[in-house]
Amino acid sequence: MSDTFDLIVVGGGPGGYVAALRASQLGMNVALVEDAQLGGVCLNWGCIPTKALLRSSEIHHLLYEVGTFGLSVENISFDLSKIVARSRGIARRMGGGVAHLLKKADVTVLNGRARLAGRTGEAHNVSVTRDGQDATTVRAPHVILATGARGRQLPGLETDGKLVWGAREAMTPSDLPKRLLVIGSGAIGIEFASFYRNMGSEVTVAEVADRILIAEDPEISAFARKAFEKQGMKIMTGAKVGPLQKSENEVSTTIENADGRTELTVDRVICAVGIVGNVEDLGLEGTGVKVERTHIVTDGFCRTGEPGIYAIGDVAGAPWLAHKASHEGILCVEKIAGRSPQPLHPLNIPGCTYSRPQVASVGYSEEKALAAGHKIRVGRFPFIANGKAVAMGETEGMVKTVFDAATGELLGAHMIGAEVTEMIQGYVITRTAELTEAELIETVFPHPTISETMHEATLAAFDGALHI
């Protein structure tokens, strides 16, 4: 194996492996260094296996609703070990797919931990070590850091793998906890809360902010809270969780908010209070790479303050999304190759939460559009007025659009309900292509589909909704 490459990618997650594949397509000789599993946290312990779990829980919920469809099912039960095994099997299958793609693209995969080790001429040296073996040094003029992030640990709320779970333990339970406390109501916390509630656990969600899903439009956040509480979740906002008191097989704590002080005892706790970037032991000392609040500072093309060193994905800061990481990997590599990619616009990155109901959004919320100085027009359309949603029995949902009143620019779109994570891309294309309400109004949406709510929400912003 040669020790010299055109590009070295550190980290094989959705940012790193996609960057390596694109670089190979553009004719570069590429090495990818990964010290754990190809596909990263997303594929192995995040995006993919959690969706497999959520799918099982959705079906479990539907089994109790089949009577409304003229069907009957008796003796509903589940095997948690098989649900978990299916999830883990899907993760392994997808990981094998990534390995195959990298091999097919002639990317050199090095198993080990990478560390920047100075320069040799114009090339950056990268030291790769594995299990105490002698280090191997590879070099390239360009190095992309795609080392990802990990769950944040708060004093008194640290995960222990037994009673207080992080994401990995929450994905691989041996038994279903009867009582569960989820600390944090971002996408990760809400998805786990949704899974366990659908499977029958008593779920309490504690959020320090004044509302859940704080990244979403407040109206959507309020809709989601109402839906979750209707399902039986207990949600506490403005909540401060006291230290966790552990016994042999349960956890007690005190939660304080505006409603007072609540004593709570549960079987398990899931801590989902944010993430920190994996910036330790990367050899950044003595370089021009700047780290702020555990994340590497980059420009619009993922360049750091050190020439030839780039950072993408979670380690480079919010939003912490796999599709953001992949896109950054592509544009970073294309910039290195001398092409002319457009820098990534943060407001054009969609966010998705795969709870029941699903939540999806892109761009400004109504609140932030006003704060940015826009005069706006807002449209809303409920799922209950959509024929396909009614036929599917999925009437709990709505679409909200925010347009600039003067130009017709789509400033933001916010959706909650069945399959909205599959539909949000229509609004993302609208923003990326800089289309206006005129093009959306003239677009023919197929009937009957839930996506017609997107058309109606646009019409509603301009006083033209037809079905409400």
Any binding-site annotation on 248?
A: no
- Whether residue 191 is annotated as binding a ligand: the answer is yes
| Residue 81 is assigned to a ligand binding site | no
Q: Cβ(294)–Cβ(304) under 8 Å?
A: no
Q: Is 299 annotated as a binding residue?
A: no
The active-site residue out of 327, 447, 455, 467 is: 447
Cross-strand bridge partners of residue 240: 256
296 annotated as a binding-site residue: no
> Which of 150, 174, 145 shows the shortest CA–CA distance to 162?
174
185 belongs to an annotated ligand binding site? yes
Residues paired with 311 in a beta bridge? 145
Does the annotation flag 328 for ligand binding?
A: no
Report the 10 Å Cβ neighbour count for 368.
15
The DSSP secondary-structure symbol of 261 reads E
11 labelled binding-site residue? no
* Other beta carbons less than 10 A from residue 228's beta carbon: 24
For residue 287, give the H/E element and its range. Answer: none
Q: Per the annotation, does 186 bind a ligand?
A: yes
Q: Is 300 exposed, middle or buried (0-12, 13-18, 19+ CB in 10 A)?
A: middle
Active-site residue, 467 included? no
Burial string for 438-467 (b: 16+ CB within 10 Å, else e) reads: eebeeeebeeebbbbbbbbbbbbbbeebee
Task: Select from 180, 189, 172 the least CA-distant residue to 353.
Answer: 189
Q: Which residues of 233-246 are buried (b: 16+ CB within 10 A; e: fewer)?
A: bebbbebebeebee
335 annotated ligand-binding residue: no
Would the annotation count 187 as a binding residue?
yes
- Give me the residue label for tokens 């099912």: 73
- 274 marked as binding residue: yes
Residue numbers in the known binding site are: 51, 184-191, 207, 274, 314
Catalytic sites, residue numbers: 447
Residue numbers in the known binding site for FAD are: 51, 314
Residue numbers in the known binding site for NAD(+) are: 184-191, 207, 274
